[in-house]
Structure 1
Amino acid sequence: MPKLSAQLIAQSIGQAFSVAYQEFLRANGINPEDLSQREYSDLLNTQDMYNDDLIHFSKSENCKDVYIEKQKGDILGVVIVESGWGSILPTVIIANMMHAGPSEKSGRLNIGDQIMSINGTSLVGLPLSTCQTIIKGLKNQSRIKLNIVRCPPVTTVLIRRPDLRYQLGFSVQNGIICSLMRGGIAERGGVRVGHRIIEINSQSVVATPHEKIVHILSNAVGEIHMKTMPAAMYRLLTAQEQPVYI
């Protein structure tokens, strides 16, 4: 009986997914008969997850323990932002460093570095506000240990889209990625919610109108190369916002 129940549950889940998938296709103007669930699944199976992130995070030379020395009462002197929903390890990124502050003076941290833990406390999966509170709580400490993953400030995305029947699976508003379909080809390619699109296929889109960005993406097929960075970091680096150091 338990085995039969498990089979029925599995069948029900499969049927529910199939119905939901067909509705998703119809909502995007695609006839479900033109693109089967199996075709989409087969495409996903040919693609690497998170572009090259898995390789990058698995290399020991990219993962480091960094010690920052400072005077008690001094702040660490960083601005942190979220890595973005869709990241292989959602955590915070160093977006800016205070000139002549402890972090910058150490020479051990770079903009783009992802902080995995501080003094043994993991930041992975924590809200940005919680991570900020943890860093603010370091004010009276003189030696701080950070476990970081060296990452460039710009994220490289590679989406493989055979033809227009395959939805990219993310939405954009004024150049910022605002939603992402879980498990789709965009997530596989490294797209992250909250990131600003900097380039599409080597062409800068930082000054491109929203409608044109949507048009470019909607009609792009084959290998779609993008460069993105957290929107908050982009605003800091382009002086649209003033940094608030912690």
Structure 2
Amino acid sequence: MIEDFEPPADPLTCSIIPGKDTQIEITTDNKILGLFFVGGKDTSTPEGIVVVEVFSGGTADKDGRLQPGDQILEVNGTALKDVTYTTASQALRQTLPKMKLTVYRPERIDFVVIETEIIKKPGKGLGLSVIARKDGKGVYISEILSGGSADVDGKITKGDLLISVNGVSVESASGEEAGIVLKTAMGRVALKLHRYKAITR
């Protein structure tokens, strides 16, 4: 009797299948993966580690499989469940010839919607920096200045995607366009953002 035996997928080449934990291996030649991620038990995304951006030209970008919204469950045998952001960052910034990752890609990406109003004082900014997404559409929060208006407000965190400013959509704006909308907004500035929601695994 011949049984159908499916050989295990090759982690160097296999695709990431939505809705299923997938083990992949990325050849990095001792260079970092080049990921911007959110998550960690001490952050506003405590349930897991979620990729926000895969930086152009990095080893993960060259590999081509990881994409925004993917959750990283394990790195080189280290589980990333219930770890701090710093621990996850150290694990993901290791420089080894190859990085082994267990990845979960949700079938549908969910976001937490964040809405807040920040007072922009004359001569001062909102106290945050944005960076354009790799595909050129939309921006995400790359930095929050300590003691600035956004920091004091406390609702926004690094990695949040900016959706609108005073009702003006910037979801598909370039970095430059979004920057102009933020710079020219005055007084009470209403911001709407999306935050990647991790699925508890």
Computing the radius of gyration from Cα coordinates, the structure with the larger value is: 1
Superposition TM-score, scaled by structure 2 size: 0.47
TM-score, normalised to structure 1's length? 0.41
| Bigger share in strand | 2
